[in-house]
Structure 1
């Protein structure tokens, strides 16, 4: 690892990122342009001390997950992302693999929709970006160990991932959500046959989960469509929302949003969650 180059790149790109583009409110007390070190640490899911050590070249050999988290937090474009990976002594993500990179424009758009619960998923249904309203509605995904932060683990796994998912009902039926995810994952597996991590994810659940195996064996074309879901929240009770899945052409991402009609009781519940979510602290993004 070229620690000096890595740290210099992180500092340079942190200084150029407008806090507003990351969902933070610029105040008169802001000492300098750019993202504060504390804000970068929060977005990347790292400690402030560790970010400082990286920038000063005192921390070496950051993991792939750490570098990926920093690239997303800094909203780097692909050439810059690859440059940061190489500065860390790592190979950039290769073609033919599921890409967890969230383009800067997508992050800016999501950051400006802070009143809407938003989660951004990679093609393998790994959760790679979410905001405070997602936390408020569903709970903080950072409690889930990084390798298990996927919808597949939430639906078919055990442990923290399964415990994270709050009771969720769909108007399409009790099995509709799970069958749609499995059908989409099967299609994704056909598009990324060289992705070893994706193959291991599928093989592991086909062996460990009879329900996953049954749905996998019967999966047919199942396009991702809008749905009405009811989330049982521990503080406000049932919240019925429209769930829409938006795709990003060229990035193979899924942007999941939850909205309620203005003036409805469910919109009032989301408003209450928004007030208590601490939106002034900005969005939350973690590596997965």
Structure 2
């Protein structure tokens, strides 16, 4: 691990970004260019103290997951991400495997979708990035695999109408089957399949049916605990060869769902616990 070079690369990558580049408000005038350390730490999901130590050449060896989060927070290109891994003494992700690295252009689009729920997903269900509206709709799921959660945490299904659970289950399994067929040497999806076959009878039974599907645009119904039922158009934008998709939910103007989505934007991510609803 080259601490001096790593510190310099992180610092220079941070200073070349403006808050607008990552979807943050400009705020008061800044004495120095670029993002603040605490902003990078927030975007990467780590403590400000730890990130500061990395820039000061004092931090402990960052994990691969942390390096991926830093590359995403700093909007690094694939080449820059690989350089970051090398400076930390790690091998970059191999081509053809799931890296969790989101292209800067895709993140830029996500940052500019202020009024629609949007998130970047891997093709095997990992939430790689979310905007504020996506958090307001379905919670903070950054770093979560939604297929794993669907089958191993039944309480997570409450956001979906009960009558749609069976279809969602079939779609999740068929999507994962398509991914493992396309990338048989990718350890991430393969490990998830093994885990779910062992931990969920429902998944194991559906896996035996060998259905295959690729995620497409659709209409999805959500049951939000505050704003109620939302019938949303789900658009799926994919990039060639990256195994990632930008999923955007929208509502047609003039519909009841459109009004409820506007209300959700106003409410944002306030504390929506049941005790607050009754007060």
TM-score relative to the length of structure 1:
0.87
User: In 2, Cα distance between the equivalents of 1:223 and 1:200?
Assistant: 20
Runs ≥4 in structure 1, deviation > 4 angstroms? none
Report what 1:213 is aligned to.
Answer: 204
User: 1: CA distance between counterparts of 2:178 and 2:97?
Assistant: 14
Contact kept, 8 Å, 1:98 with 1:124, in 2: the verdict is no
Q: What corresponds to 1:195 in structure 2?
A: 186
1:1-288 alignment runs, 5 A limit: 1-141=1-141, 146=143, 149-158=144-153, 162-169=154-161, 173-277=164-268
CA distance in 1, matches of 2:260, 2:115: 12
Contact 2:173–2:203, Cα closer than 8 Å, also in 1: yes
Structure 2 alignment gaps of length 5 or more: 271-279
Pair 163,86 (structure 1): closer, same or farther in 2 beyond 3 Å? farther
Q: Kindly indicate whether the alpha-carbon contact (under 8 Å) linking 1:98 and 1:123 is maintained by their aligned counterparts in 2.
A: no
In the superposition, the TM-score normalised over structure 2's length comes to 0.90
- The size of the alignment, in residue pairs, is 270
Mapped contact 1:170–1:230 kept (Cα < 8 A): no
SS in 2 for 1:218: coil
Question: Post-superposition shift, 1:62?
Answer: 0.5
> 2:183 & 2:123 partners in 1: Cα distance?
10
> What do the CA deviations read for 1:93-127 (whole angstroms, capped 9, x no partner)?
01231231111111101111121111211122111
SS at match of 1:246: strand
